[in-house]
Chains A and B, each alone.
Chain A
């Protein structure tokens, strides 16, 4: 028997709310297949199964708040008989309970709240897209008002839209007395406040526990930008590369030369990762930040990396990331150049041990073969954990990035 656990979803997320199960008891699940959808303060996450087998038991229910590490389900390896399952509770599951209506909402002392993220399960989002239904017009019946697949099906039935699929498409209409989905502004503000609190806890922990040191270097991007310009001239619009992808690849390859920066702090020591999974910081439209991993970044071609980059950014903003993308980053890269920032002094995302910041590419006077010329340059910064590396190793890492960017054709 194998436990299906609530995975670590990043240091700033300690629990998730189960939105829905994708399988039922008796269904076969393959390793890597999505078994559950979980909602967090930042995004809806699809949780993959790490085992192949038959779903023996679903322990948690939609609506439950589940701490990281809790057993959510049991998977029986195929060929084994069904048996008695004993589950040791690893953490307190908070069952979904309807909160009593509050009499008055306390004003949240913050700037004008940005629009809250619409809570839509990934399955509901996909179905809505297929049926041409705008999820923001729907009433959510999932946990905390999340819009789930049945809500989309109900709306489709009501409007007569059809989709050729499975037979379970018919759902019962909601009773007319059900409360409307529209939420009071205070609720949206509270959700935003919770997201900020989650981020605040992680960043405060980082600054409290990680002795940061900072280094920066200015990199001549002339060769890279010329190479990119020539390369994109040969490509169709849909296949063009963004310069950010070359920077990410250079960081990934540089980690092979200074592997101490590619790892996690566990307990009282750093553990180097054998694989390079660069987390790319993505700003969320509703505010906040998330940094999903692009797995095996160093092994991808630039074309593959570009596709994966676009895909992960799209899904991060749509709230449809997978759990492994949040739990697996071995380093984070954040680029604020498009916001006009020249130098980034980043905060390391625990339990990682380093973060690379990239600023905007600017034209600056530069000495080339004794002559002062104008060159496009970028400032790359490193925030690193002084328990793991010293400035010497950090400096070697930044130098490696610089050297790699002088030969863009080899990235």
Chain B
């Protein structure tokens, strides 16, 4: 994970597919108890994007 660039698509960097991404969203849901609508998926394509998203959702 240390080699993953935070501002680049981590899906491309890690060669993960839609199944991996869905598992990631489910894990995020379980860990943080947030529901991630599909319309928000485009925000979660980078590490930085995920961090910004989580900060916003958890601040609510």
Contact = CB atoms under 8 A, between A and B. Distances in A.
Interface in A229-245: 229, 232-233, 236-238, 240, 242, 244
A369 interface: no
B50 interface: no
B25 interface: yes
A238 B19 contact: no
Interface in B17-46: 17-19, 22, 25-26, 29, 35-38
Contact of A244 (B18, B26, B35, B38): B18
A338 B18 contact: yes
B41 to A, nearest CB: 11
Contacts of B17: 338
A313 interface: yes
Given A232-B38, A233-B37, A238 B29 contact: yes
B19 A237 contact: no
Given A229-B38, A232-B38, A237 B29 contact: yes
A237 B35 contact: yes
Given A338-B17, A338-B18, A240 B38 contact: yes
Interface in A271-329: 310, 313
A4 to B, nearest CB: 34
A366 B36 CA distance: 31
A238 B24 CA distance: 10
A242 B18 contact: yes
A374 B10 CA distance: 29
Interface of A: 229, 232-233, 236-238, 240, 242, 244, 310, 313, 338
24 contacts: A229-B38, A232-B38, A233-B37, A233-B38, A236-B29, A236-B35, A237-B25, A237-B26, A237-B29, A237-B35, A237-B36, A238-B26, A238-B29, A240-B22, A240-B38, A242-B18, A242-B19, A242-B22, A244-B18, A310-B19, A310-B22, A313-B19, A338-B17, A338-B18
Given A237-B26, A310-B22, 7 more contacts: A232-B38, A233-B38, A237-B29, A237-B35, A242-B18, A244-B18, A313-B19
